[in-house]
Chain A
Amino acid sequence: EAQVTQNPRYLITVTGKKLTVTCSQNMNHEYMSWYRQDPGLGLRQIYYSMNVEVTDKGDVPEGYKVSRKEKRNFPLILESPSPNQTSLYFCASRTGGDEKLFFGSGTQLSVL
């Protein structure tokens, strides 16, 4: 089954404790991206990647890091999480020839 898999589904952590949210897709998509979804603000893009070793900032990249060492994986790294990063996070992917995005099921992050 074609899918984007995120882990974990839920995460509660404390300020300053480094964490990684994993994202993997099995559709051989070139493009992958991360979004955060907050009430009243909608989905906002954090980072995106056009292919392996190619990443770029979205609209809200501060406090986040990404890497794209393999085509299928695109982890989101919070090196020193803060409470304002409490949010619902989505990973998405698409093939280069199609603008349709496939989303993961989301990661609900709470930073205390």
Chain B
Amino acid sequence: EDQVTQSPEALRLQEGESSSLNCSYTVSGLRGLFWYRQDPGKGPEFLFTLYSAGEEKEKERLKATLTKKESFLHITAPKPEDSATYLCAVQAYNTGNQFYFGTGTSLTVIP
């Protein structure tokens, strides 16, 4: 069964304190791994897609990396506006039209 596990569940950082969020997955034939940001009262917003081990993507203070078993979302020098829940999702080749989401990491950045 395809599974996605995110850790930690919640993370509090001081402004400027860099850290990483983890997404571990078990899937038969990874087609893609996705990161989304979700603000309170809103739908998830797309951040990155990663397709193969070793791939990296960057956007402002965020950098996503992928290995064969997990993905990391690195946050460098975060700001309070980075506070949100970050969701990870996987798509497998054998179930290509379905996306399996983790439960998310709730990030709070304190000024």
Contact = CB atoms under 8 A, between A and B. Distances in A.
B49 to A, nearest CB: 6
B46 A48 contact: no
A101 interface: yes
Given A56-B97, A58-B98, A103 B43 contact: yes
A82 to B, nearest CB: 23
B59 to A, nearest CB: 13
Given A99-B34, A100-B49, A45 B44 contact: no
B101 A43 contact: yes
Contacts of B89: 43
Interface in B1-37: 4, 31-32, 34, 36
Given A43-B87, A99-B32, A50 B43 contact: no
Interface residues of A, number: 24
A35 to B, nearest CB: 8
A106 B99 CA distance: 18
Interface residues of B, number: 22
A42 B87 contact: yes
A59 B98 contact: yes
Contacts of B101: 35, 42-44
Given A31-B97, A56-B97, A40 B103 contact: yes
A50 B72 CA distance: 30
Given A50-B97, A59-B98, A43 B49 contact: no
Contact of B43 (A41, A56, A100, A106): A106
A4 interface: yes
Interface of B: 4, 31-32, 34, 36, 41-46, 49, 87, 89, 91, 97-99, 101-104
